[in-house]
Structure 1
Protein backbone atom coordinates (compact mmCIF):
# COMPACT_ATOMS: atom_id res chain seq x y z
CA UNK A 1 0.00 0.00 0.00
CA UNK A 2 1.15 3.50 -0.81
CA UNK A 3 0.03 6.76 0.76
CA UNK A 4 0.29 10.03 -1.16
CA UNK A 5 -0.32 13.14 0.93
CA UNK A 6 -0.88 16.58 -0.52
CA UNK A 7 -0.26 19.37 1.97
CA UNK A 8 -2.39 22.49 2.17
CA UNK A 9 -4.89 24.39 4.26
CA UNK A 10 -8.58 23.61 4.39
CA UNK A 11 -11.18 26.23 3.56
CA UNK A 12 -12.25 28.19 0.50
CA UNK A 13 -10.12 31.17 1.45
CA UNK A 14 -7.00 29.01 0.93
CA UNK A 15 -8.03 27.39 -2.35
CA UNK A 16 -5.56 28.06 -5.16
CA UNK A 17 -2.97 29.62 -2.82
CA UNK A 18 0.74 28.91 -3.09
CA UNK A 19 0.68 26.96 0.18
CA UNK A 20 -1.97 24.62 -1.27
CA UNK A 21 0.03 23.23 -4.18
CA UNK A 22 0.00 19.80 -2.50
CA UNK A 23 -3.80 19.80 -2.35
CA UNK A 24 -4.04 20.94 -5.98
CA UNK A 25 -1.71 18.21 -7.24
CA UNK A 26 -3.32 15.40 -5.23
CA UNK A 27 -6.75 16.62 -6.44
CA UNK A 28 -5.49 16.30 -10.01
CA UNK A 29 -4.14 12.81 -9.26
CA UNK A 30 -7.51 11.79 -7.79
CA UNK A 31 -9.19 13.00 -10.96
CA UNK A 32 -6.79 10.98 -13.13
CA UNK A 33 -7.38 7.88 -10.98
CA UNK A 34 -11.14 8.53 -11.09
CA UNK A 35 -11.60 8.59 -7.31
CA UNK A 36 -13.23 11.10 -4.98
CA UNK A 37 -12.28 12.24 -1.51
CA UNK A 38 -14.34 11.34 1.52
CA UNK A 39 -14.05 12.77 5.01
CA UNK A 40 -12.39 10.26 7.32
CA UNK A 41 -12.28 9.90 11.09
CA UNK A 42 -8.58 10.79 10.95
CA UNK A 43 -8.95 14.55 10.37
CA UNK A 44 -8.36 14.17 6.65
CA UNK A 45 -10.04 13.73 3.33
CA UNK A 46 -9.08 10.36 1.88
CA UNK A 47 -9.56 8.79 -1.55
CA UNK A 48 -8.76 5.15 -2.23
CA UNK A 49 -7.52 3.91 -5.58
CA UNK A 50 -6.11 0.64 -6.84
CA UNK A 51 -3.39 0.27 -9.43
CA UNK A 52 -2.11 -3.13 -10.52
CA UNK A 53 -3.71 -4.64 -7.42
CA UNK A 54 -2.01 -2.23 -5.01
CA UNK A 55 -4.04 0.04 -2.76
CA UNK A 56 -3.20 3.74 -2.97
CA UNK A 57 -4.44 6.22 -0.38
CA UNK A 58 -4.63 9.85 -1.43
CA UNK A 59 -4.77 12.13 1.60
CA UNK A 60 -5.49 15.80 2.24
CA UNK A 61 -5.06 16.57 5.96
CA UNK A 62 -7.88 18.71 7.38
CA UNK A 63 -5.72 19.98 10.24
CA UNK A 64 -4.16 23.00 8.54
CA UNK A 65 -0.67 22.85 7.16
CA UNK A 66 1.38 23.21 10.33
CA UNK A 67 -0.38 20.31 12.05
CA UNK A 68 -0.53 17.87 9.11
CA UNK A 69 1.17 15.11 11.07
CA UNK A 70 -1.84 14.90 13.38
CA UNK A 71 -3.75 13.37 10.45
CA UNK A 72 -0.93 11.56 8.65
CA UNK A 73 0.50 9.70 11.67
CA UNK A 74 -2.77 8.02 12.75
CA UNK A 75 -3.66 7.17 9.13
CA UNK A 76 -0.29 5.49 8.65
CA UNK A 77 -0.75 3.53 11.88
CA UNK A 78 -4.31 2.48 11.04
CA UNK A 79 -3.42 1.29 7.53
CA UNK A 80 0.02 -0.01 8.57
CA UNK A 81 1.81 2.15 5.99
CA UNK A 82 5.59 1.98 6.15
CA UNK A 83 7.34 5.39 5.94
CA UNK A 84 9.09 4.12 2.79
CA UNK A 85 5.64 3.96 1.14
CA UNK A 86 4.69 7.53 2.08
CA UNK A 87 5.06 10.35 -0.44
CA UNK A 88 4.28 13.94 0.54
CA UNK A 89 3.68 16.71 -2.01
CA UNK A 90 4.29 20.25 -0.74
CA UNK A 91 5.33 23.78 -1.60
CA UNK A 92 8.92 24.95 -1.21
CA UNK A 93 9.95 28.60 -0.81
CA UNK A 94 13.59 27.81 -1.52
CA UNK A 95 12.97 26.50 -5.03
CA UNK A 96 12.28 28.78 -7.99
CA UNK A 97 8.67 29.00 -9.08
CA UNK A 98 7.81 25.95 -11.17
CA UNK A 99 10.86 23.87 -10.20
CA UNK A 100 10.05 20.35 -8.98
CA UNK A 101 12.50 18.51 -6.75
CA UNK A 102 12.11 14.95 -5.51
CA UNK A 103 13.67 13.88 -2.26
CA UNK A 104 14.00 10.40 -0.75
CA UNK A 105 14.25 11.47 2.91
CA UNK A 106 15.61 14.21 5.12
CA UNK A 107 14.86 17.02 7.50
CA UNK A 108 11.91 19.38 7.32
CA UNK A 109 14.01 22.09 5.72
CA UNK A 110 12.01 24.76 7.53
CA UNK A 111 8.63 23.50 6.29
CA UNK A 112 6.26 23.28 9.26
CA UNK A 113 3.93 20.75 7.62
CA UNK A 114 6.85 18.38 7.03
CA UNK A 115 8.14 19.05 10.54
CA UNK A 116 4.74 18.01 11.93
CA UNK A 117 4.70 14.80 9.86
CA UNK A 118 8.21 13.87 11.00
CA UNK A 119 7.17 14.50 14.61
CA UNK A 120 3.99 12.39 14.42
CA UNK A 121 5.42 9.61 12.26
CA UNK A 122 8.68 9.46 14.20
CA UNK A 123 10.68 9.05 11.01
CA UNK A 124 12.04 11.30 8.27
CA UNK A 125 12.60 8.49 5.77
CA UNK A 126 9.65 9.26 3.51
CA UNK A 127 9.52 10.55 -0.03
CA UNK A 128 8.73 14.15 -0.99
CA UNK A 129 7.79 15.99 -4.13
CA UNK A 130 8.70 19.61 -3.51
CA UNK A 131 7.15 22.23 -5.78
CA UNK A 132 8.93 25.56 -5.97
CA UNK A 133 6.89 28.66 -5.25
CA UNK A 134 9.88 31.03 -4.99
CA UNK A 135 10.61 33.39 -2.12
CA UNK A 136 8.66 36.64 -1.69
CA UNK A 137 10.44 39.81 -2.68
CA UNK A 138 8.33 42.54 -1.11
CA UNK A 139 5.89 40.93 1.31
CA UNK A 140 5.89 38.74 4.40
CA UNK A 141 6.32 35.01 3.95
CA UNK A 142 2.89 34.36 5.51
CA UNK A 143 1.12 36.76 3.15
CA UNK A 144 3.03 35.31 0.22
CA UNK A 145 2.33 31.60 0.84
CA UNK A 146 -1.31 32.32 1.64
CA UNK A 147 -1.65 34.43 -1.51
CA UNK A 148 -2.88 33.18 -4.85
CA UNK A 149 -0.63 32.79 -7.86
CA UNK A 150 -0.54 35.85 -10.08
CA UNK A 151 -1.68 35.40 -13.69
CA UNK A 152 1.98 35.49 -14.76
CA UNK A 153 2.83 32.70 -12.29
CA UNK A 154 -0.01 30.36 -13.23
CA UNK A 155 1.66 28.98 -16.38
CA UNK A 156 4.85 28.09 -14.48
CA UNK A 157 2.84 26.40 -11.74
CA UNK A 158 0.78 24.50 -14.33
CA UNK A 159 4.03 23.17 -15.85
CA UNK A 160 5.25 22.17 -12.38
CA UNK A 161 1.95 20.41 -11.70
CA UNK A 162 2.36 18.35 -14.89
CA UNK A 163 5.93 17.41 -13.92
CA UNK A 164 4.98 16.54 -10.33
CA UNK A 165 2.07 14.37 -11.49
CA UNK A 166 4.28 12.57 -14.00
CA UNK A 167 6.86 11.86 -11.28
CA UNK A 168 4.22 10.50 -8.89
CA UNK A 169 2.70 8.35 -11.63
CA UNK A 170 6.16 7.02 -12.54
CA UNK A 171 6.74 6.02 -8.90
CA UNK A 172 3.36 4.31 -8.75
CA UNK A 173 4.13 2.44 -11.97
CA UNK A 174 7.59 1.13 -11.14
CA UNK A 175 8.19 1.64 -7.37
CA UNK A 176 11.80 2.73 -7.99
CA UNK A 177 11.95 6.23 -6.51
CA UNK A 178 15.69 6.55 -7.16
CA UNK A 179 15.08 6.06 -10.89
CA UNK A 180 12.20 8.56 -10.75
CA UNK A 181 14.45 11.09 -8.99
CA UNK A 182 17.12 10.59 -11.65
CA UNK A 183 14.55 11.25 -14.35
CA UNK A 184 12.76 14.27 -12.82
CA UNK A 185 15.39 16.08 -10.70
Structure 2
Protein backbone atom coordinates (compact mmCIF):
# COMPACT_ATOMS: atom_id res chain seq x y z
CA UNK A 1 0.00 0.00 0.00
CA UNK A 2 1.21 3.49 -0.92
CA UNK A 3 0.38 6.84 0.69
CA UNK A 4 0.43 9.77 -1.75
CA UNK A 5 0.23 13.13 0.01
CA UNK A 6 -0.55 16.30 -1.92
CA UNK A 7 0.37 19.39 0.08
CA UNK A 8 -1.63 22.60 0.13
CA UNK A 9 -3.79 24.82 2.29
CA UNK A 10 -7.53 24.20 2.72
CA UNK A 11 -10.23 26.60 1.56
CA UNK A 12 -11.17 28.44 -1.60
CA UNK A 13 -8.92 31.37 -0.66
CA UNK A 14 -5.88 29.19 -1.44
CA UNK A 15 -7.23 27.28 -4.44
CA UNK A 16 -5.04 27.63 -7.53
CA UNK A 17 -2.14 29.18 -5.59
CA UNK A 18 1.43 28.01 -6.06
CA UNK A 19 1.52 26.50 -2.57
CA UNK A 20 -1.46 24.28 -3.50
CA UNK A 21 0.04 22.55 -6.53
CA UNK A 22 0.31 19.36 -4.44
CA UNK A 23 -3.47 19.40 -3.95
CA UNK A 24 -3.90 20.06 -7.67
CA UNK A 25 -1.65 17.11 -8.58
CA UNK A 26 -3.62 14.71 -6.36
CA UNK A 27 -6.91 16.03 -7.79
CA UNK A 28 -5.56 15.39 -11.30
CA UNK A 29 -4.48 11.85 -10.35
CA UNK A 30 -7.90 11.07 -8.87
CA UNK A 31 -9.65 12.48 -11.96
CA UNK A 32 -7.46 10.55 -14.38
CA UNK A 33 -8.06 7.26 -12.55
CA UNK A 34 -11.78 7.99 -12.03
CA UNK A 35 -11.29 7.25 -8.33
CA UNK A 36 -14.25 7.38 -5.95
CA UNK A 37 -15.01 10.57 -4.04
CA UNK A 38 -12.74 11.51 -1.15
CA UNK A 39 -13.89 11.36 2.46
CA UNK A 40 -12.78 13.49 5.40
CA UNK A 41 -10.77 11.54 7.95
CA UNK A 42 -7.61 12.13 10.00
CA UNK A 43 -7.90 15.91 9.42
CA UNK A 44 -7.59 15.31 5.67
CA UNK A 45 -9.39 14.49 2.45
CA UNK A 46 -8.62 10.78 2.07
CA UNK A 47 -9.21 8.48 -0.87
CA UNK A 48 -8.45 4.75 -1.05
CA UNK A 49 -8.45 2.77 -4.30
CA UNK A 50 -6.52 0.27 -6.41
CA UNK A 51 -4.24 1.34 -9.25
CA UNK A 52 -3.24 -1.57 -11.47
CA UNK A 53 -3.28 -3.88 -8.47
CA UNK A 54 -1.51 -1.54 -6.04
CA UNK A 55 -3.47 -0.21 -3.08
CA UNK A 56 -3.24 3.58 -2.93
CA UNK A 57 -4.32 6.05 -0.27
CA UNK A 58 -4.26 9.72 -1.30
CA UNK A 59 -4.21 12.44 1.32
CA UNK A 60 -4.82 16.18 1.13
CA UNK A 61 -4.25 17.49 4.68
CA UNK A 62 -6.83 20.05 5.78
CA UNK A 63 -4.64 21.37 8.62
CA UNK A 64 -2.77 24.14 6.80
CA UNK A 65 0.67 23.55 5.43
CA UNK A 66 2.76 23.82 8.60
CA UNK A 67 0.75 21.06 10.34
CA UNK A 68 0.62 18.55 7.46
CA UNK A 69 2.29 15.86 9.55
CA UNK A 70 -0.77 15.84 11.84
CA UNK A 71 -2.61 13.99 9.05
CA UNK A 72 0.25 12.05 7.51
CA UNK A 73 1.66 10.32 10.60
CA UNK A 74 -1.68 8.95 11.90
CA UNK A 75 -2.58 7.65 8.41
CA UNK A 76 0.81 5.95 8.03
CA UNK A 77 0.25 4.28 11.41
CA UNK A 78 -3.40 3.37 10.74
CA UNK A 79 -2.67 1.70 7.40
CA UNK A 80 0.75 0.38 8.55
CA UNK A 81 2.44 1.90 5.51
CA UNK A 82 6.25 1.71 5.54
CA UNK A 83 8.17 4.96 5.10
CA UNK A 84 9.55 3.83 1.72
CA UNK A 85 5.97 3.86 0.37
CA UNK A 86 5.26 7.47 1.33
CA UNK A 87 5.26 9.97 -1.56
CA UNK A 88 4.79 13.68 -0.84
CA UNK A 89 3.91 15.98 -3.76
CA UNK A 90 4.59 19.67 -3.15
CA UNK A 91 5.51 23.06 -4.57
CA UNK A 92 9.19 23.88 -5.07
CA UNK A 93 10.38 27.48 -5.49
CA UNK A 94 13.90 26.35 -6.40
CA UNK A 95 12.64 24.86 -9.68
CA UNK A 96 11.17 26.88 -12.55
CA UNK A 97 7.49 26.44 -13.29
CA UNK A 98 6.88 23.23 -15.22
CA UNK A 99 10.00 21.39 -14.02
CA UNK A 100 9.94 18.60 -11.47
CA UNK A 101 12.36 16.54 -9.43
CA UNK A 102 11.76 13.12 -7.94
CA UNK A 103 13.92 12.58 -4.88
CA UNK A 104 14.28 10.67 -1.65
CA UNK A 105 15.95 11.50 1.66
CA UNK A 106 16.28 15.22 0.99
CA UNK A 107 16.37 18.03 3.54
CA UNK A 108 13.10 19.98 3.90
CA UNK A 109 14.83 23.25 3.01
CA UNK A 110 12.45 26.10 3.76
CA UNK A 111 9.23 24.18 3.06
CA UNK A 112 7.12 24.18 6.24
CA UNK A 113 4.87 21.31 5.17
CA UNK A 114 7.89 19.10 4.49
CA UNK A 115 9.50 20.23 7.76
CA UNK A 116 6.42 19.16 9.72
CA UNK A 117 6.09 15.78 7.98
CA UNK A 118 9.81 15.13 8.50
CA UNK A 119 9.51 16.04 12.20
CA UNK A 120 6.40 13.89 12.75
CA UNK A 121 7.90 10.93 10.86
CA UNK A 122 11.29 11.46 12.59
CA UNK A 123 12.87 10.89 9.17
CA UNK A 124 13.33 12.55 5.80
CA UNK A 125 13.81 9.16 4.11
CA UNK A 126 10.66 9.26 1.97
CA UNK A 127 9.90 10.01 -1.68
CA UNK A 128 9.12 13.52 -2.85
CA UNK A 129 7.76 14.89 -6.09
CA UNK A 130 8.94 18.50 -6.14
CA UNK A 131 6.84 20.51 -8.61
CA UNK A 132 8.46 23.72 -9.78
CA UNK A 133 6.58 26.95 -9.17
CA UNK A 134 9.58 29.28 -9.63
CA UNK A 135 10.70 32.24 -7.58
CA UNK A 136 9.49 35.83 -7.73
CA UNK A 137 11.19 37.86 -10.46
CA UNK A 138 12.08 40.54 -7.91
CA UNK A 139 14.44 38.99 -5.32
CA UNK A 140 13.16 41.49 -2.72
CA UNK A 141 9.66 39.97 -2.97
CA UNK A 142 8.85 37.72 0.00
CA UNK A 143 8.80 34.06 -1.08
CA UNK A 144 6.12 33.23 1.54
CA UNK A 145 3.81 35.79 -0.09
CA UNK A 146 4.76 34.58 -3.58
CA UNK A 147 3.67 30.97 -2.99
CA UNK A 148 0.28 32.21 -1.76
CA UNK A 149 -0.35 34.01 -5.06
CA UNK A 150 -2.46 32.47 -7.80
CA UNK A 151 -0.77 31.13 -10.91
CA UNK A 152 -0.56 33.46 -13.92
CA UNK A 153 -2.82 32.94 -16.94
CA UNK A 154 0.18 31.63 -18.88
CA UNK A 155 0.99 29.12 -16.12
CA UNK A 156 -2.66 28.03 -15.90
CA UNK A 157 -2.67 27.39 -19.66
CA UNK A 158 0.32 25.04 -19.21
CA UNK A 159 -1.05 23.46 -16.02
CA UNK A 160 -2.97 20.51 -17.53
CA UNK A 161 0.17 19.20 -19.24
CA UNK A 162 2.29 19.77 -16.10
CA UNK A 163 -0.21 17.95 -13.86
CA UNK A 164 -0.48 15.10 -16.38
CA UNK A 165 3.31 14.70 -16.22
CA UNK A 166 3.09 14.67 -12.41
CA UNK A 167 0.55 11.82 -12.61
CA UNK A 168 2.87 9.96 -14.99
CA UNK A 169 5.77 10.53 -12.56
CA UNK A 170 3.73 9.10 -9.67
CA UNK A 171 2.89 6.07 -11.79
CA UNK A 172 6.57 5.59 -12.65
CA UNK A 173 7.62 5.92 -8.99
CA UNK A 174 5.14 3.27 -7.88
CA UNK A 175 5.55 0.77 -10.71
CA UNK A 176 9.17 1.32 -11.86
CA UNK A 177 10.99 2.71 -8.81
CA UNK A 178 12.88 5.92 -8.11
CA UNK A 179 15.90 5.31 -10.37
CA UNK A 180 13.91 4.70 -13.56
CA UNK A 181 11.33 7.38 -12.73
CA UNK A 182 14.09 9.94 -12.05
CA UNK A 183 15.73 9.20 -15.40
CA UNK A 184 12.45 9.96 -17.15
CA UNK A 185 11.23 12.99 -15.20
CA UNK A 186 14.19 14.82 -13.59
Alignment TM-score > 0.5, same fold: yes
Matched, 1:137 2:137: yes
Q: Look up the match of 2:178.
A: 177
Q: Please tell me whether the aligned partners of residues 172 and 180 of structure 2 are also in contact (alpha carbons under 8 angstroms).
A: no
Aligned length: 183
Counterparts of 2:143 and 2:59 in 1: how far apart (Å)? 26
Q: Look up the match of 1:69.
A: 69
Q: Look up the match of 2:38.
A: 37
- Secondary structure class of the residue paired with 2:57: strand
RMSD: 1.3
Q: Deviations over 1:89-126 (max 9, x none)?
A: 00001111111111122110211100100000111111
Q: Look up the match of 2:16.
A: 16
Q: Please tell me whether the aligned partners of residues 33 and 49 of structure 1 are also in contact (alpha carbons under 8 angstroms).
A: no
Q: Please tell me whether the aligned partners of residues 92 and 130 of structure 1 are also in contact (alpha carbons under 8 angstroms).
A: yes
1:52-67 alignment to 2 at 5 Å? 52-67=52-67
Q: Please tell me whether the aligned partners of residues 105 and 124 of structure 2 are also in contact (alpha carbons under 8 angstroms).
A: yes
Which structure 2 segments of 5+ residues have no match? Answer: none
Which structure 1 segments of 5+ residues have no match? Answer: none
Q: Please tell me whether the aligned partners of residues 7 and 20 of structure 1 are also in contact (alpha carbons under 8 angstroms).
A: yes
Q: Look up the match of 1:164.
A: 166
TM-score (structure 2 length as normaliser): 0.93
TM-score (structure 1 length as normaliser): 0.94
